[in-house]
């Protein structure tokens, strides 16, 4: 088990539906720690239950794909998001279309 913060982050990440993404900062904001985007990234990197907690649906604030350790890394993350229907503009997620609006 992680800290209360990481467990909160994982709980929010589990709510991101297929075809949508959240940003690290967005999850930090939802968890009540708006300055903790990097801590969200650390939590995603240590995700103990990848099938249950879809860390591939968490992206940078500009839509960039960052830090994915499964499969072939970023290319696997992109392929998974495309398979789920996430919209891209070039190499970045189109956040206007595909960003999850939260709770």
**pLDDT at 1 > cutoff 60:** no
Residue 55 catalytic? yes
Residue pair 37/28 in contact by the 8 Å Cβ criterion: yes
Per-residue pLDDT, 70 = 76
**pLDDT at 12 > cutoff 80:** yes
pTM: 0.93
Q: Domain containing 92 — which CATH number? A: 1.10.10.10
Is residue 80 a part of any domain in this protein? yes
- Segments forming the whole domain that contains residue 36: 4-98
Is residue 103 a part of any domain in this protein? no
Question: In percent, how much of the chain has pLDDT > 70?
Answer: 97
Among 16, 36, 55, 65, which one carries the catalytic annotation? Answer: 55
Is residue 16 a part of any domain in this protein? yes
Burial 73-103 (b: 16+ CB within 10 A, else e): eeeebbebbeebebbeeeeebebeebbbeee
56-80 pLDDT tens trace: 999 999 999 987 777 788 999 999 9
């Amino acid at each position: 088990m992680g800290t209360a913060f990481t467990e909160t982050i994982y709980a929010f990440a589990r709510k991101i539906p297929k075809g949508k993404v959240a940003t690290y900062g967005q999850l930090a904001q939802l968890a009540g720690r708006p300055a903790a985007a990097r801590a969200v990234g650390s939590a995603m990197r240590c995700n103990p239950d990848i099938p249950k907690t879809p860390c591939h649906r968490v992206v940078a604030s500009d839509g960039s794909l960052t830090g994915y350790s499964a499969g072939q890394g970023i290319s696997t993350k992109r392929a998974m998001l495309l398979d789920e229907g996430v919209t891209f503009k070039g190499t970045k997620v189109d956040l206007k279309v595909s960003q999850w609006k939260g709770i």
